């Protein structure tokens, strides 16, 4: 079993402190970062071993998909995310 190192919970433009923050990728697509509690009372961003964040793409007009299976997700480097707003 390998030891999991803690990665900073931040992106170039500010902290990943809100599950409702909308981010924009360089290609113009908007997304939210996926958070989980992983056995604790604190939500933290989900990262892979390379430090990339697990994000979910928003639909047109920053709408969240209605069902879990409808989300389009991918791993992205944190430095590509630029905060642009909050979910309504």
Give 30-68 pLDDT, tens digit per residue. 999 988 887 777 788 889 999 999 999 999 999 999 998
For residue 12, what pLDDT is reported? 46
- pLDDT grade, residue 10 (50/70/90)? very low
The whole-angstrom separation of Cα 34 and Cα 5 is 19
- Average pLDDT value over all residues in the chain: 83
For residue 15, what pLDDT is reported? 53
Q: What is the mean pLDDT of residues 12-40?
A: 81
Q: What is the mean pLDDT of residues 62-78?
A: 93
14: left (phi over 0), alpha (psi -120 to 50) or beta: left
Q: Residue 20 contacts by C-beta under 8 Å, 6 or more apart in sequence?
A: 32, 86, 87
The count of C-alpha atoms lying within 13 angstroms of the C-alpha of 7, restricted to the half-sphere facing its C-beta, is: 16
For residue 61, what pLDDT is reported? 93
């Amino acid at each position: 079993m390998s030891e999991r190192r803690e990665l900073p919970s931040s992106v170039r433009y500010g902290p990943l402190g809100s599950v409702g923050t909308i981010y924009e990728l360089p290609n113009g697509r908007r997304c939210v970062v996926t958070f989980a509690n992983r056995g604790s009372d604190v939500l933290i961003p989900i990262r892979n071993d390379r430090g990339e964040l697990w994000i979910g793409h928003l639909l047109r007009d920053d709408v969240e998909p209605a069902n879990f299976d409808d989300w389009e997700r991918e791993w992205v480097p944190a430095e590509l995310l630029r905060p642009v707003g909050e979910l309504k």
